[in-house]
Every structure is written in C-alpha cells, then in structure tokens.
Structure 1
C-alpha cells in the first residue's frame, strides 16, 4: 500500500470517527484517563454506544488505551485517553490532509497530577 493510500485510509477513518455522534464529546472527556463506564456516564450515552465510539476512535488513532485499572466493583477495566489536543483538516487538495497537535507525555503527567 502506498503512502497516499495509507493516508487516504487514515483520513477516511479519522473523518468517519469524528463524524459519529458523541465522538467529539468522548474526546473532550478523555483528556485524562477514563474508563468506558465513566465516559458513558459523563457523556450521557449507553455503554454499548460508548464502546462502539471508543473502538472507532482507537482505530482512527484519536484515542488510546493507557492500561487497566480496578473498577469500583473490583473488575479490571481499560482506561482511555485522547492522543491529541487539536486537529485541523485541510480539504484544499485531492484528499483531506490532517494537522494534529499530539499530546506529549509530559502534558499527560502534569494533567494527571492536577487531577489528583
């Protein structure tokens, strides 16, 4: 697969993920690590819908699983955080082009400390 074909696949995945209802809200909520259950509750959507949006956002590279933690019920659950803070889409070329402002590990650690 050529670089432009990979970019088109990525572009399509990003646009598709961002075009789905609740995706932007999930990304806004996921500035700090959160479980799917917490995201579902904070956004106000059914857990099944939240899991579908999470899967799409992970596949598009906009959200990442940061690890696992124990839930209040004592179960191991994945926690998710967005991978970027900003995204810009340029439609002036033959295919959409993305400019992303990735989150740095230093910013993640600082934000985690502020949340504690």
Structure 2
C-alpha cells in the first residue's frame, strides 16, 4: 500500500479526489476488474460512450485505471482495453491534506482473474 501525497510518479491527491468524485467513476472501476474496452464498460453500466471516455481519461490520469493494450472490436477496429490498478482505496481527511492508502492490483492477481474468465 502507498500512503500520502505524491511521490515520484504518484498522481496528485486532487486528481484522485476529482476522478473519484465524478459520476460513474466508481462504477467504471468496479466493472474494470477484468480488461474491457470503453464500449464494453459503457454497455455494462449503461452510460453514454462519450461520458465513459471522459471518465476513463480522468481515471487513467489519476492512476486508478490503466490501458492494458489494444484488441480488435467486433467491427474490426482496434480499441484500447482498460483495467483498474487498485482494489481498495482509503482516504484519511484528518490532516491538512488528504492521505491515501491503496491496495494495488498485482500482476499475479490479474493473470489469475484472466484465467478464471476464460
């Protein structure tokens, strides 16, 4: 778990709070436990695709979602595939600045979950 504000490549706490505060962000993170395209996420949580793309961009910028690669869609177009980078986030507001505690997803967990999905 990581704590505190920004360290090196850690996103700023403001970016994380902003991303989490946006409508549908939590639903996208829950749905992105396995690799999914923006269209699949949009369909899963029944939101407009444009809104989904905006939330994905915010979540990627905040370090909560990552692009895992590209795959062909049913229409034959190359689409980005996204997966969440965290399983848990705790936010402590008791100090002057929010402090975050994150339980990051491990590559081993991703591989195991991918195998279970196949």
- Give the TM-score normalised by structure 2: 0.91
Which residue of the partner structure matches residue 20 of structure 1? Answer: 22
Which residue of the partner structure matches residue 36 of structure 2? Answer: 34
* Moved segments of 4+, more than 6 Å: none
Structure 1's unaligned 5+ residue stretches are none
Preserved contact between residue 5 and residue 100 of structure 2 (Cα < 8 Å): no
Give secondary structure in 2 for the equivalent of 1:25.
Answer: helix
* Aligned counterparts of 2:79 and 2:31: Cα–Cα separation in 1: 17
* Aligned counterparts of 1:112 and 1:10: Cα–Cα separation in 2: 30
Render the CA deviation track for 1:28-50: whole Å, top value 9, x for unaligned.
00000000000000010000000
Which residue of the partner structure matches residue 105 of structure 1? Answer: 107
* Aligned counterparts of 1:5 and 1:39: Cα–Cα separation in 2: 29
**Structure 1 residue 10 displacement after superposition:** 1.1
Summarize the alignment of residues 74-89 of structure 1 with structure 2, pairs less than 5 Å apart: 74-89=76-91
Which residue of the partner structure matches residue 53 of structure 2? Answer: 51
How large is the Cα RMSD of the aligned pairs? 1.4
* Aligned counterparts of 2:116 and 2:76: Cα–Cα separation in 1: 25
Q: Which has the higher contact order (CA 8 A, sep 6+)?
A: 2
Bigger helix share: 1
Structure 2's unaligned 5+ residue stretches are none
